[in-house]
Amino acid sequence: MAMPNAPRHPPAPSARPAKPAATEAPEAEPDHPSELDDLTHAEYRLLYDEASQNIRFSKRQQWRVVEYFTLLSFALVAICGLTTVAKDVTHFIAYFLLFAGVASIIVLGMLQMWQYDEARKLDKLAEGFSSYARIALRIKGKVGADINRYAILFILLLLIMVSDIVVFRILMDIGR
């Protein structure tokens, strides 16, 4: 006779071993921290922040150049159109505005080159950051950022050129 408390047979496995759920994310590669010492890392961060601020400042200056040129153009047309100005003065103002347009285009180009140099500095500084920081910084691709930056520059240049030509023609017609 079998004892009442003793199991007769070993328990049968009730189910197969559980597989990992499909919703679980695969293991991410481990973070490789920055190999920089604390002081050097602080310098990197300071330089990175400064370069970022320089890019923002340069972009703001580009828009201000366009704004100031536009205001100057409207003001000169208003002065020449609403007052009695000699023909020679109107022609001088028209050529001055042409010069101001060319100067504005040159300044926009210089500011764009500054942004390019600062972006290269950011790329170089990012090499010293952790692997997670570098991954986060690459979310917006360099090619996409360059396309956006140069498309905006093209629009600003086109705006100045077209405005300059139109206002020059208006001033020359006023000076007849």
Could you report the per-residue pLDDT of 141-166, keeping only the tens digit for each?
A: 778 888 988 999 999 999 999 999 99
45, 144, 25, 134: CA torsion to nearest 10: -20
Whether residue 10 is contained in a domain is answered as: no
Whether residue 13 is contained in a domain is answered as: no
Measure the N-to-C terminal CA separation of the chain; round to a whole number of Å.
Answer: 129
Query: Percent of the chain having pLDDT more than 90?
Result: 44
Whether residue 160 is contained in a domain is answered as: yes
Whether residue 100 is contained in a domain is answered as: yes
Q: What is the pTM assigned to this prediction?
A: 0.72
Rg, the chain, Cα only: 33
Whether residue 31 is contained in a domain is answered as: no
Whether residue 81 is contained in a domain is answered as: yes
Residue-range definition of the domain harbouring residue 125: 38-174
Return the number of other C-beta atoms located less than 10 Å from residue 8's C-beta.
Answer: 6
Give pLDDT tens digits for 78-124: 888 888 878 888 899 999 999 999 999 999 999 999 999 999 998 88
> In angstroms, rounded to a whole number, what is the distance separating the alpha carbons of residues 72 and 89?
16
Whether residue 92 is contained in a domain is answered as: yes
Which sign, positive or negative, has the C-alpha torsion 164, 165, 170, 172?
positive
Give pLDDT tens digits for 108-120: 999 999 999 999 9
Whether residue 111 is contained in a domain is answered as: yes
The pLDDT assigned to 176 comes to 79
pLDDT at 41 over 70: yes
Average pLDDT taken over every residue of the chain: 83
The pLDDT assigned to 5 comes to 56
- Tell me, what amino acid is at 170? I
| Number of domains observed in the structure of the chain | 1
- Tell me, what amino acid is at 68? Y
Q: What is residue 22's DSSP assignment? A: T
List helix spans (H) across the chain: 38-82, 87-126, 131-137, 142-174
With CA atoms as reference, report the closest residue to 169 among 100, 78, 98, 102.
Answer: 98
Q: What is the 3-state secondary structure (H, E, C) of 104-138?
A: HHHHHHHHHHHHHHHHHHHHHHHCCCCHHHHHHHC
